[in-house]
Amino acid sequence: MAGMVLLGIMYFQFWNSLTKVQAEADQNELRTLFNLGRQMVKEPQRVVIKWQGTWEGSGDAEAAAQHLSRSLQLPSVKEVEENGHTTYRAIGEKDAVNVRFNWQEISGDQSYVIIQLEAQTPQQWDSLADLQAKFGEKMRDAGIDAKWNAALQGHVDDRTEAADTMNRIEGRLKGILDAVPKETYQDETTVSNAYQVPSLKTRVRSGDTWLNMQVAVHEDDVRGTNRVTIGLPVITIEY
């Protein structure tokens, strides 16, 4: 019996150590995004982090959603109907960071959970990095196989075509990271490039390759400048 208890303690300590290492790696990659934003964008306007993943269980999904929301010190969830699925939603604020909690039942024993954190100014970025680690840990504790992505968005002074701004950004990017272009998209007002970056661990599969970062430039007709969005591993907000 004592041996089993000791084995359990050792496993718990190992798991905690592994979780801490992963959280530190996630925060380091997020700070890489912050640094890129400071160098590539004159006016950083927003940073959005999304934690998302699948929850599976035969228990009460509403109770599980309520428990997770409370563990994150968010308001109680409210039930709504969205696209034919029961959804539990909460909107709150933590350390001046906006939080949107969305738990949607997919089937009787499966739900999909997305928690979005959004900071509007660089002064909130330290809080955002801390919340990134905390929210990821809480979601995994709740049995959710959670993955994260993040996007930084802002404007540059360029009043040129999006392709010209992208060429300038790529030139600067290659002096900071070993970014290898893998995919590209272009229309009249937008250019988007996706890259493999060996130094980044966060990644997503696209076809037969892996992507670690995406950069998009969009010509903003309202402001008369170009809007730049940098995403890890891809952009999941409108650019």
- Alpha-carbon gap, residue 100 to 52, rounded angstroms: 12
Q: Judge whether 83 and 106 are in contact, CB under 8 Å.
A: no
What's residue 175's pLDDT? 87
Q: Domain 9-153 belongs to what topology? A: TBP-like (3.30.2030)
For the chain, the average pLDDT equals 90
What's residue 229's pLDDT? 97
CA geometry: angle 183, 112, 22, nearest 5 deg: 65
Q: What is the band of 222 on the pLDDT scale with cuts at 50, 70, 90?
A: confident
- Alpha-carbon gap, residue 43 to 41, rounded angstroms: 6
Whether residue 214 is predicted with pLDDT greater than 90 in this model: the reply is yes
Instruction: Describe the chain by its helix, strand, coil percentages, rounded to 5.
Output: 35, 40, 25
Q: Which residue has the higher pLDDT, 177 or 21?
A: 177
Q: Which helix H or strand E contains 199, and what residues bound it?
A: none
- Alpha-carbon gap, residue 141 to 49, rounded angstroms: 19
What's residue 3's pLDDT? 61
Tens digits of per-residue pLDDT, 40-72? Answer: 998 777 999 999 999 998 889 999 999 999 999
Q: What is the band of 10 on the pLDDT scale with cuts at 50, 70, 90?
A: low
Tens digits of per-residue pLDDT, 115-152? Answer: 999 999 888 999 999 999 999 999 999 999 999 999 99
Whether residue 21 is predicted with pLDDT greater than 60 in this model: the reply is yes
Tens digits of per-residue pLDDT, 64-110? Answer: 999 999 999 999 999 999 999 999 999 999 999 999 999 999 998 99
Most confident of 21-25, 93-97, 98-102, 160-164: 98-102
User: For the chain, which residues make up each domain, given as ranges?
Assistant: 9-153, 157-232
Work out the number of other CB atoms within 10 angstroms of the CB of residue 48: 21
Q: Which helix H or strand E contains 137, and what residues bound it?
A: helix 125-141
Whether residue 14 is predicted with pLDDT greater than 70 in this model: the reply is no
